[in-house]
């Protein structure tokens, strides 16, 4: 297990227990989430190291690595993904100011987003830790997807856009990836990072049952302020922050399921609708946020 004696973001020793939760998805093991009193960064304490982390993804229900999972949750996940593919493409094109270029998707899963970009004329490359997902991406979508260990061989200043759709929170060494992203991006290139928002309305409501804690798969729990701190420390500046609307429904339904409530789908949809509505008054309280970042001058 990895234990942090100081804040992984600002190095302050002033950290302590924020919330105690469980791996509701797979093992039900207890985990502690710590928060730094200095910078506000929130992180999973005593999580499995790299040699053991893969065991916590070993489930047919882990949807981003598996396209065949059934049930209501799986169906809802795929529906949201289908709805969002075109929107994600437009976000990338508007942020970059181009409709053709080279894009790298880190944590590309089964390749649906990259396939959408490829159909639109983009040159694509993916990075994915799951061998099964890499094989699926190649056989079904005809994509070039590599193991994370090979990211160092991607040429410097070669990509117009790099995307991480709910990926950064999983990395054992996020600053190492940030260095690679900085190296691979063209000087005017754009990086798009989607993350759960641990200061969202739904996180505050569900507390330990908030599905986006997703311990121990999620190691880092960002808010807009701590993401800004992370980006600055990694040599980037945040150009814009956008919401990712469908996530709140999926997260709320899962959270109700983890609470073992009856009619969790209905309850989650109703609560998700409420969180979606009130987040219009403060986007920074949305369940998931998209950060558009660029290299500092």
Write out pLDDT tens, residues 198-230: 999 999 999 999 999 999 999 999 999 999 999
Q: Which residue has the tokens 């950060």?
A: 291
State the pLDDT at residue 231.
98
| Gap between the Cα atoms of 174 and 220, Å rounded | 9
Q: Which residue has the tokens 């994509």?
A: 143
pLDDT above 90 for 75: no
| The two structure tokens encoding residue 47 | 């999580």
State the pLDDT at residue 82.
76
This prediction has a pTM of 0.92
pLDDT (average), residues 52-78: 68
| Gap between the Cα atoms of 136 and 148, Å rounded | 16
Write out pLDDT tens, residues 224-272: 999 999 999 999 999 999 998 889 999 999 999 999 988 999 999 999 9
State the pLDDT at residue 245.
84
| Gap between the Cα atoms of 252 and 255, Å rounded | 5
State the pLDDT at residue 72.
61
Q: Which of 10, 160, 147, 48 lies closest to 98 in space, CA to CA?
A: 160
Helix (H) or strand (E) holding 258, with range, is: helix 247-258
**What is the chain's length?**
297
Specify the range with the lowest mean pLDDT, choosing from 91-100, 244-253, 269-278.
244-253
CATH of region 15-295: 3.40.50.150
Write out pLDDT tens, residues 123-169: 999 999 999 999 999 999 999 999 999 999 999 999 999 999 999 99
Domain ranges in the chain are 15-295
| The two structure tokens encoding residue 99 | 């409709």
């Amino acid at each position: 297990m990895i234990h942090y004696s100081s804040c992984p973001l600002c190095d302050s020793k002033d950290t302590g227990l924020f919330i105690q939760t469980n791996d509701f998805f797979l093992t039900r093991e207890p985990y502690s989430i710590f928060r730094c009193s200095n910078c506000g960064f929130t992180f999973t304490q005593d999580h499995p190291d790299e040699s053991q982390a893969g065991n916590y993804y070993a489930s047919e229900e882990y949807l981003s690595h598996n396209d065949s999972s059934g049930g209501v949750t799986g169906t809802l996940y795929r529906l949201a993904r289908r709805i969002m593919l075109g929107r994600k493409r437009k976000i990338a094109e508007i942020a970059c100011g181009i409709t053709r270029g080279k894009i790298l998707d880190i944590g590309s899963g089964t390749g649906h987003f990259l396939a959408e970009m490829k159909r639109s004329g983009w040159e694509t490359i993916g990075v994915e830790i799951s061998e099964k997902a890499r094989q699926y991406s190649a056989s079904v979508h005809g994509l070039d997807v590599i193991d994370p260990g090979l990211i160092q061989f991607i040429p410097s200043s070669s990509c117009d856009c790099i995307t991480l759709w709910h990926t950064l929170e999983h990395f054992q060494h996020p600053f190492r990836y940030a260095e690679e992203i900085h190296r691979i991006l063209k000087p005017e290139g754009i990086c798009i990072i989607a993350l759960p928002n641990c200061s969202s309305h739904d996180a505050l409501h569900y507390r330990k049952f908030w599905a986006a804690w997703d311990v121990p798969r999620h190691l880092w729990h960002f808010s807009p302020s701590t993401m800004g701190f992370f980006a600055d420390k990694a040599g980037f500046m945040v150009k814009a922050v956008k919401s990712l609307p469908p996530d709140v429904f999926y997260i709320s339904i899962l959270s109700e399921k983890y609470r073992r409530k009856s009619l969790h789908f209905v309850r989650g949809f109703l609560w998700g609708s409420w969180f979606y509505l009130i987040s219009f008054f403060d986007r920074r309280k949305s369940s998931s946020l998209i950060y558009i970042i660029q290299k500092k001058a």
